[in-house]
Amino acid sequence: MTSTIDPATIGKANRARRHVRTLTGYLPETDASGKEQWPKGDEKVWRAGTRGLDTDVPSITKTFVNHVQTSLARQAYNLDNLGAYQAAALSVRDNLLVNWNETQMNYTRKAPKRAYYLSLEFLMGRTLDNAMLNLGLKDKYVEGVKKLGFSIEDILEQERDAALGNGGLGRLAACYLDSSASQELPVWGYGLRYKYGIFQQLISPEGNQLEAPDPWLDNQNPWELPRLDVSYEVRFYGSADRLNDGSGRSNWHGGQEVLAVAYDVMIPGYNTPTTNNLRLWESKPKRGFDLNSFNAGDYEHAVESSNSAAAITSVLYPNDHTSFGKELRLKQQYFWTAASLQDIIRRFKNLGKPITEFPDYAAIQLNDTHPTLAIPELMRVLIDDEDLDWGTAWQIVTNTFFYTNHTVLPEALEKWPVPLIEHVLPRHMQIIYDINLFFLQAVEKKFPDDRDRLSRMSLIEEGQPKQVRMAHLACIGSRKVNGVAELHSDLVQTTILKDFVEFEGVSKFGNVTNGITPRRWLDQCNPELSALISKTLKLDKNVWLKDLTKLEGLLPFAEDKKFRTEWAAIKQRNKERLAHHVQTTLGLTVRTDAMYDVQIKRLHEYKRQTLNILGVIHRYLTLKAMTTAERAKTNRRVVFFAGKAAPAYYIAKLTIRLIVNVARVINADPDTKDFLQLYFLPDYSVSLAEVLIPASDISQHISTAGTEASGTSNMKFCLNGGLLLGTVDGANIEIAEEVGESNVFFFGHLTPAVEDLRHQHLYHPVPIEEKCPALANVLNEVSKGLFGDGGVYEPLLNTVRHGDYYLLTDDFDSYIAALAMVDEAYLDTEEWIKKSIRTTAKMGKFSSDRAILEYAESYWNIEAIPVAAAK
């Protein structure tokens, strides 16, 4: 574990560049002084001999077969679907590489300010289909693989999702990369290359969630480029000795050193050659193993340290909205931020500018507080390695970082125990204390004699142990702080960061409402609807997919009967596609002549899947009590749930168990099964969402008001013509503003009421039988064993009966009323289709292109850097 390297050389080791040369005849060339000379105007010279894109079917089939025989070392006469997928992927990858090289060369040449998106999660899903579509080559590939005897659908099904994320925050990062490249913005993503993504969810016969690992890299990943030559050292533990010279500098030495190795993932823009980069770090031991121990026969000890290095990037933490305080997670966060910063600083240094100009060339976006250690880390580099004084360093830092908050739930706000940081990152703890000291001095100056305020605002929360409040650190270390929907951004400013708004001024705080990429979430997942839209708008999809407000042109067609019929027929075929998927994957027969009602998201009490399932039970009991004639007049409904629960989240897992067992009873009941069906689809993923969303008539976004920061699947459903049933929360509000309140189904209490209601629950509780008899009846039926042993569910039911923190007893009646309105509206088929069309037509605002341009213009101050078209 101990290092033999002189501490003084650490951090400088990577500055020695490898000796690189330009292929003769390929610019840039170096002049006499060794300076790079880029061509002015004439790009032919350096493009000559560079590989071009395969844009016709014969060259596509040729590269396909080439890859079968060379890269895959397989024979053309016995290829399976997996082999065909790999060959197709490698052929597409060749094309991406052409554009990627051009793009990166163009950035190097023009040296613009760049933005970096630091996210612990990137939920990319599958790549092949998206890459073909973005390149504009899908039709050619469809034809090419068909010529070779394969079907593109079979090939696409072979790909495993890259599931390096938990939920909304991770998928948002993926959408933002798509939009950055599509808008030709110089943006790179930085994350971790987890060996295991989010766990696979299995459901036991009893209905329990079981977790299995997701070894997604087991079949080689054609989409990553290992960059074994790009690596950095990262230190943990050891000690930090202040250099008592009044400079505040320290010498951090000893401890464990590991290597970060880069893997690059190409991010193609839509209908542009711009292809950006997502750089993922893998941890490796700095030395293979300890040869001394090995020679002494102590093999276990010999590999111990190498195992501990590799462990850092082995697995994605599966908990969202709960902070755990685990040492390995802290090591992940530091490992990733330290490697990314070294890489960003090295790229900046190649420009030969003074370090004080760093913020003019780099903007770093912090995706939630997970990368907040980048703030003290950049301070450490600037002070200890670059010899800057504190003030200059702090000036650079606070002009470089931008912080996005994604939740105001108290249990999700990251806090790290001071003793843990002191142990793992001793130098950073010193720096955090220093930042805190200067900060609190400034606060005290502005608000003298306000000790409460000082303790509220401190980076350190008093207690046993003391803890570092990462949101406070992210806030004071950043140039701007934003929330992800209007309501959420207001809540950030009036609750968790209120004191900071008072101290720093409101102009530092803002809102960027989330968005989704219409390429994946309409064109790719719903190709028939995309084609109908192009035909109707008389626009190439290249146009409206990049300016989504063009969808407004659909509005008049809501009045066109023929168009409505086409619109509805596509929804119907999407239901059939989903039913087929459920049939082939789960062996279950789902009826397609019914309303499809969908709630798909992480399981969490605040998202209130419990409210939904209790509503389903209420409907079941109501149907049971009807006569056959009465039932025949009701609206047929199929309810779908999907989502994962954090492995340690007992109540969330119990909710899954209840859903599965209610489904078992309802689907087998001859009285009701024609009118109500219920499914829990296991192992929710990006790919499953792509099948579910286009099939939905209504989707549920029913969080307790003020708890869902934004939500992004709400946008995906509405873009695909599904209507929204929801609370007045997150982006639901802005969706309703766009599509009109008559096209959404709102219910429940509003945010300002929540605090009072919770107070009532605690201090003036009313028995549930009195307050909400319908709900009390549902709970009793569950207790009495209608869905199997009622005792199992008591802990879940008790969260509603006692305390009811998420206000189910307050919102249940209005929820049931809203469901009734949905039924009534759906029975008026033509009117429903009109609502569906109008909803899609007004979703332009929610393109992630709009969101990313807001970040680029109002926050990062970066511009589009188009790649010149190849000649």
Q: Which 165-194 residues touch ligand 26W, going by CB under 6 A?
A: 167-169, 172
Of residues 140, 249, 406, 427, which has the active-site annotation? Answer: 406
CB of 3 to ligand 26W, least distance (A): 31
Kindly state whether residue 323 participates in binding ligand 26W, applying the rule CB under 6 A.
Answer: yes
Contact residue for ligand 26W among 99, 407, 612, 847 (CB under 6 A): 407
711: DSSP letter: -
Interacting stretch for ligand 26W, rule CB under 6 A, among 163-171, 546-554, 626-634, 829-837? 163-171
Of 204, 118, 95, 212, residue with least CA distance to 163: 212
Contact by Cβ (8 Å): 276, 251: no
CB closer to ligand 26W, 169 vs 383: 169
Kindly state whether residue 643 participates in binding ligand 26W, applying the rule CB under 6 A.
Answer: no
CB closer to ligand 26W, 575 vs 701: 701
Using CB positions, name the residue nearest to ligand 26W. 168
Q: Which 463-502 residues touch ligand 26W, going by CB under 6 A?
A: 484
Measured CA to CA in angstroms, residue 530 lies from 551, 580, 643, 840, 844 at distances of 11, 21, 27, 11, 14
Kindly state whether residue 368 participates in binding ligand 26W, applying the rule CB under 6 A.
Answer: yes
Q: Is 771 a catalytic residue?
A: no
638: DSSP letter: E
DSSP sequence for 142-202: HHHHHHTT--HHHHHHTPPPEEE--SHHHHHHHHHHHHHHHTT--EEEEEE--SB-SPEEE
CB of 102 to ligand 26W, least distance (A): 32
Q: Is 604 a catalytic residue?
A: no
Contact residue for ligand 26W among 178, 224, 343, 414 (CB under 6 A): 414
CB of 708 to ligand 26W, least distance (A): 5
Measured CA to CA in angstroms, residue 701 lies from 90, 664, 727 at distances of 39, 24, 7
CB closer to ligand 26W, 249 vs 406: 406
Kindly state whether residue 256 participates in binding ligand 26W, applying the rule CB under 6 A.
Answer: no
Distance between CA atoms of residues 106 and 88, nearest Å: 27
Q: Is 686 helix (H, G, I), strand (E, B) or coil?
A: helix
CB of 369 to ligand 26W, least distance (A): 8
- Ranges assigned E (strand) in 608-675: 637-642
Of 738, 800, 732, residue with least CA distance to 768: 800
Adjacent-strand bridge partners of 360? none
CB closer to ligand 26W, 373 vs 570: 373
Of residues 63, 369, 655, 712, which has the active-site annotation? Answer: 712
Interacting stretch for ligand 26W, rule CB under 6 A, among 187-195, 219-227, 708-716, 764-772? 708-716
Interacting stretch for ligand 26W, rule CB under 6 A, among 314-322, 538-546, 571-579, 685-693? 314-322
Sheet holding 676-680, edge to edge: 676-680, 637-642, 595-600, 698-701, 723-727, 744-747
Distance between CA atoms of residues 157 and 444, nearest Å: 61
CB closer to ligand 26W, 404 vs 530: 404
DSSP sequence for 790-827: GGGGHHHHHHHHTT-TT-HHHHHHHHHHHHHHHHHHHH
Q: For 747, how many CA atoms within 13 A lie in the half-sphere containing its CB?
A: 25
Q: Is 415 a catalytic residue?
A: no
Of residues 253, 602, 604, 631, which has the active-site annotation? Answer: 602
Of residues 716, 749, 801, 842, which has the active-site annotation? Answer: 716
Kindly state whether residue 332 participates in binding ligand 26W, applying the rule CB under 6 A.
Answer: no
333, amino acid identity: Q
CB of 322 to ligand 26W, least distance (A): 6
Query: In residues, how long is the chain?
Result: 871
CB of 366 to ligand 26W, least distance (A): 11
CB closer to ligand 26W, 233 vs 708: 708
Kindly state whether residue 708 participates in binding ligand 26W, applying the rule CB under 6 A.
Answer: yes
Contact residue for ligand 26W among 406, 415, 508, 842 (CB under 6 A): 406
CB closer to ligand 26W, 168 vs 268: 168
Total of chain residues touching ligand 26W, rule CB under 6 A: 22
Kindly state whether residue 605 participates in binding ligand 26W, applying the rule CB under 6 A.
Answer: no
DSSP sequence for 834-845: HHHHHHHHT-GG
CB closer to ligand 26W, 86 vs 407: 407
Q: Which 29-88 residues touch ligand 26W, going by CB under 6 A?
A: none
Q: Is 406 a catalytic residue?
A: yes
Q: What is the torsional sign of CA 642, 646, 652, 654?
A: positive
Distance between CA atoms of residues 558 and 833, nearest Å: 8
CB of 455 to ligand 26W, least distance (A): 23
CB closer to ligand 26W, 171 vs 284: 171
Q: What is the torsional sign of CA 120, 123, 127, 132?
A: negative
Of residues 321, 564, 601, 644, which has the active-site annotation? Answer: 601
Contact residue for ligand 26W among 709, 778, 782, 816 (CB under 6 A): 709
Kindly state whether residue 804 participates in binding ligand 26W, applying the rule CB under 6 A.
Answer: no
Kindly state whether residue 514 participates in binding ligand 26W, applying the rule CB under 6 A.
Answer: yes
Q: Is 838 a catalytic residue?
A: no
Q: Which 675-704 residues touch ligand 26W, going by CB under 6 A?
A: none
Name the phi and psi angles at 52, rounded to 5: -95, 180
Helix axes 527-537, 561-586, angle to 10 degrees: 170
Q: Is 535 a catalytic residue?
A: no
Distance between CA atoms of residues 235 and 385, nearest Å: 14
Kindly state whether residue 513 participates in binding ligand 26W, applying the rule CB under 6 A.
Answer: no
Interacting stretch for ligand 26W, rule CB under 6 A, among 18-26, 131-139, 304-312, 321-329? 321-329
- Secondary structure of 366-431 in the HEC alphabet? EECCCCCCHHHHHHHHHHHHCCCCHHHHHHHHHHHEEEECCCCCHHHCCEEEHHHHHHHCHHHHHH
Contacts of 152 (CB under 8 A, 6+ apart): 141, 142, 145, 146
Distance between CA atoms of residues 105 and 811, nearest Å: 56
CB of 531 to ligand 26W, least distance (A): 29
Count of other CB atoms within 10 angstroms of residue 519 = 27
Q: What is the torsional sign of CA 566, 580, 674, 204?
A: negative
Q: Is the peptide bond before 556 cis (omega within 30 degrees of 0)?
A: no
CB of 172 to ligand 26W, least distance (A): 4
Of residues 284, 321, 480, 607, which has the active-site annotation? Answer: 607
Kindly state whether residue 320 participates in binding ligand 26W, applying the rule CB under 6 A.
Answer: yes
Interacting stretch for ligand 26W, rule CB under 6 A, among 162-170, 520-528, 741-749, 774-782? 162-170
860: DSSP letter: I
Structure tokens belonging to residue 732: 């639901």
Contact string 565-604 vs ligand 26W (x = CB under 6 A): ----------------------------------------
Distance between CA atoms of residues 122 and 295, nearest Å: 42
CB closer to ligand 26W, 172 vs 265: 172
Contacts of 567 (CB under 8 A, 6+ apart): 529, 532, 721, 833, 836, 837
Contact residue for ligand 26W among 138, 140, 321, 850 (CB under 6 A): 321
CB of 323 to ligand 26W, least distance (A): 4
CB closer to ligand 26W, 323 vs 836: 323
Q: Which 729-758 residues touch ligand 26W, going by CB under 6 A?
A: 730
Q: By the criterion CB under 6 A, which residues form the site for ligand 26W?
A: 167-169, 172, 319-323, 368, 406-407, 412, 414, 484, 514, 708-712, 730
Catalytic residues: 406, 601-602, 607, 712, 716
